[in-house]
Amino acid sequence: MDSFQSCQSTAHTRTLFDAVAARLPSRLKLASQLTSAYADAPVHSMTVSNVMGGMRGLPCILWEVSGTDKDGITYHGRTLSELQGLLPSWNGSSQVSPEAMLWYLYTASVPTRAELEAFSADLLRRSTLPAEVEEFCDRISSDISSIAQMIMCLSVLAPSSKFTAALAQGVPKMQLWRYALEDALDSTARVPMIAARIYINKYREGKHPDALLDPRVDLAENFTRLIGRVGDADFTELIRLYWGLHMDHGANVSAHTMRLSGSAWSDPYLTLASGLISGTGILHAGAIIQALRYNQGMLSALGTEPSDEAIEEYVTKTIANGCVVPGYGHALLRTADPRLEPIVHFLNCRPPQEDNEGAAMLRLIRLTTAIVPDVLRKHIPRMKSHAPNVDSLSGCLMYAQGLDVDFILLVMACSRGMGFMAQYVWDRALGLPIERPLSITMDQLMAQL
C-alpha cells in the first residue's frame, strides 16, 4: 500500500509521519526495558477500594500522551499553562492552535511555524467527505441528537479505513501505525466537517452558507465558516480554545472506551463512535449539559442577582433531595480543574456581546463558584473535591455564544476524538496488546480477604 506516500516530507518541512517515526525508537526502547527488566516489579498495592470503586486510583492503563493524578494533568511532562506559553497560535489568534496541540500530543515536540502550516494544509486536504457520507448525513432526521447523528456517520465512514485495508493485506504489525495515522488524520479533518453538516441540517434546514473552505485559515475557522459564523472572531477563538483544552484528559470514560475498542484493532472510525456513545452519560461529558440545565433552573428560580443566602439555600435543597450539584468535584483531581483557568480568562477578555439567558447564567456562575464549594464542604464533607470543574462553565459559555444545547457536546466530541487518535496511533506503534483484565465476583473477593 502507498496511501501515506503523499504525506512524506518536502526537502525542508518535517511531516507528522516523520516526527512520530523519529520519536518511535526511543519509546520502543523504553517499552522493551519496562517489559524485560522490570516485568515483575510491583507498581501499586491494589485494595478492595480500587476494585469496588471502578478502578479509581489504580494505575493500570498505559497512556502515552499524558499523565493524570490528583494534582492535575501533564502532557508529555508539561502542564497546560506551560503549553499555553510554548505552543504557537494561528495568525491573528490569541489562543493556542488546536493543530499545534495535536502535533504536540503526537510528537512531544513544539511544531515550527512551517510544520504547523503544512500540517494544517494536510488536514484541509483530507477534509473532503465521501459523497455517500454526505448523502447519508443529509437523510438523517433532524430530530435525532447531534451526537447520535455523528455516531451514525462515523459508522458509514468505517469502510474507508486505511487501517482495516492494511490488516486485510497483511501489513506487518509494526508498520500498522502508519495506516492508523492515516485514518487518524483523516478522521481529525472529517469529523468537524460532518459536525458542520449536522449543524446545517439541524438548525439551518439544510441551507448551506455561501462560505467555502479557506486554505489560508485553520480547521477551527473553517468549521465556524461552514456553520454560518463567518467573521465571528469571538466564536472562532472559543472553538480554538475548547478544541485545544479538551483533546486529552487521560483515561476518562470516553477515552478509555476508545482505547479498549482500539486495543482489539477496531478501526479508528468505529473506535471514535464507541467513545462518543460512552461520553453521553451524565457522569461523564453529559455532565456539561447537566450543569447547564442546573444553572438554567437556578436562574429561573432566583433571578439574575440572587443573594448569597438564596444561592446557599437553593444548593442545600438540591443536596437534601439527594441530587448531585453538577459542575463540582472530580473523579481524580483534588485541586481546581486546570482547564477552568483559561476558560475564565477567555470570558474576562471576551464577554458575551448579547445580554441573553446565557450571559445571565455566566454572571450567576461567577457568584455560585464562590459559594457552592463551602456549601458542599458543610453538607457533604466526605466529598473528596469540592472545587468547580470544567463542566461548571464550559457548556454555559458555548450556550451564551449562541450554540443550541444539543450541539454543545458534539463540539467537545470533535476535540476529544482528535486527541485520542494520538493515543490510538501510539498504541499501534508500540505494539500494545488487547486489554483483558481479570474479572472477579464479590464472593471471590471476600474469599481472598
Question: By three-state DSSP, how is residue 73 classified?
Answer: strand
The Cβ of residue 429 has, within 10 Å, a number of other Cβ atoms equal to 23
List C-alpha distances in Å: 188 to 108, 184, 203, 236, 410.
Answer: 18, 6, 23, 18, 14
Active-site pick, 18, 284, 379, 406: 284
Question: By three-state DSSP, how is residue 211 classified?
Answer: coil
DSSP letter string, 233-274: HHHHHHHHHHHHHSS--SS-HHHHHHHHHHHTT--HHHHHHH
391 included as an active-site residue: yes
User: Rounded CA gap, 280 and 148, in Å?
Assistant: 10
- Residues in the chain, total: 449
Active-site pick, 330, 337, 386, 427: 330
- What cell numbers appear for 207 in the block? 441551507
Backbone angles phi, psi at 330, to 5 degrees: -155, 145
Long-range contacts of 331-334 (CB under 8 A, 24+ apart): 331/56, 331/252, 332/56, 332/68, 332/69, 332/70, 332/250, 333/70, 333/71, 333/72, 333/385, 333/387, 333/389, 334/70, 334/71, 334/384, 334/385
User: Rounded CA gap, 197 and 137, in Å?
Assistant: 7
SS3 readout for 100-126: HHHHHHHHCCCCCHHHHHHHHHHHHHH
Active-site pick, 248, 267, 337, 391: 391
Long-range contacts of 273-276 (CB under 8 A, 24+ apart): 273/150, 273/151, 273/154, 273/155, 275/413, 275/416, 275/417, 275/420, 276/147, 276/150, 276/151, 276/154, 276/413, 276/417
- What cell numbers appear for 431 in the block? 505494539
330 included as an active-site residue: yes
List C-alpha distances in Å: 97 to 90, 117, 171, 299, 345.
Answer: 6, 11, 34, 34, 17
Cell 441540517 sits on residue: 201
User: Rounded CA gap, 58 and 205, in Å?
Assistant: 48
* Opening angle at CA 14, ends 13 and 19, nearest 5: 170
Helices (H), 340-386: 340-349, 357-379
> What residues does 74 pair with on adjacent strands?
67, 79
> Which of the residues are catalytic?
284, 330, 391
